């Protein structure tokens, strides 16, 4: 990593939406996975996706005095900003600057959390639930692209799906996906990424089967997390039924007008 960039990250740039370790950032720059854009007040990393947009990870030195003139792209740009609700006001100057520069609030999410009350697993089993196989990868990816918002819900690449294979649970009927749940396990915490029953198969109880399987598959998991769109009351009520509660974190998705 460029020494100047490393120094900025360590010493000067306090406002950020990037929580990637420095070593990983350095590796991504070397591999050209990240394009670096910078001036004296702003440092950004642009990551292209396979779709028509890129993600922006930023570091800002002074939230009251920074410029976005260096941020020029022919592609759409998506910015995710996570903050605790009690600190929302402190992010307003940064949000306003993005709005002035041509970004809009695309959507927003609230985080929900479920803490397991016991270390014992319920040993929930169901012979309808299967894991992810190599020959299912393209089928799952197309299912996600069809049913989830590519700008807001981070559709994984095929390689990322492979990496999530141990925490991907499917119910298939006649070789098509009837229901799907994908999570990401990190130590004692597991994040629910996607949970959906295809419209054709709703009312069969498949969603509940997958959720129970997910909540009881790893006996060492202590905390379960998920992000839900703040206006999706139907989904919120379903998560609450299984014991999830809103916590104090929110996420804004910003999208420029390209």
- pTM across the whole model: 0.91
- What separation in angstroms does the CA of 217 have from each of 131, 135, 193? 12, 23, 16
Give the integer Cα–Cα distance in Å for 15 and 92. Answer: 12
Percentages helix, strand, coil for the chain, rounded to the nearest 5?
30, 35, 35
For CA atoms 240, 242, 246, 252, give the dihedral sign. negative
Give the domain ranges of the chain. 3-108, 117-221
In this predicted structure, what is the pLDDT of residue 7?
Answer: 60
CATH number of 117-221: 3.40.630.30
Residues in the chain: 258
- Above 60 in pLDDT, residue 212? yes
Give the integer Cα–Cα distance in Å for 62 and 40. Answer: 10
Give the integer Cα–Cα distance in Å for 58 and 77. Answer: 12
Helix (H, G, I), strand (E, B) or coil at 183: strand
Region 35-64: mean pLDDT is 90
> 65-100: per-residue pLDDT in tens?
887 877 777 789 999 999 998 888 989 999 999 999
């Amino acid at each position: 990593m460029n020494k100047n960039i490393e120094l900025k990250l360590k010493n000067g740039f306090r406002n950020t939406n990037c929580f990637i370790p420095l070593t990983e950032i350095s590796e991504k720059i070397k591999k050209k996975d990240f394009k670096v854009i910078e001036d004296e007040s702003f440092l950004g990393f642009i990551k292209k996706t396979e779709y028509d947009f890129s993600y922006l990870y930023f570091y800002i030195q002074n939230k009251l005095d920074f410029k976005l003139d260096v941020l020029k792209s022919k592609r759409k740009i998506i910015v995710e900003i996570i903050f605790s609700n009690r600190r929302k006001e402190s992010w307003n100057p940064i949000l306003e600057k993005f709005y002035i520069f041509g970004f809009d609030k695309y959507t927003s999410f609230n985080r929900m959390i479920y803490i397991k009350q016991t270390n014992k697993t319920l040993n929930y089993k169901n012979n309808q639930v299967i894991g992810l196989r190599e020959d299912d990868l393209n089928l799952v990816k197309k299912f996600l692209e069809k049913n989830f918002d590519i700008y807001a819900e981070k559709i994984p690449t095929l390689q990322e799906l492979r990496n999530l294979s141990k925490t991907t649970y499917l119910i298939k009927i006649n070789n098509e996906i009837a229901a799907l749940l994908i999570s990401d396990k990190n130590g004692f915490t597991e994040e629910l990424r996607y949970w959906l029953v295809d419209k054709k198969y709703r009312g069969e109880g498949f969603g509940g089967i997958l959720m129970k399987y997910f909540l009881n598959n790893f006996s060492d998991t202590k905390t379960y997390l998920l992000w839900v769109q703040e206006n999706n009351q139907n989904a919120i009520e379903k998560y609450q039924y299984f014991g999830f509660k809103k916590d104090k974190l929110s996420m804004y998705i910003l999208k420029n007008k390209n």
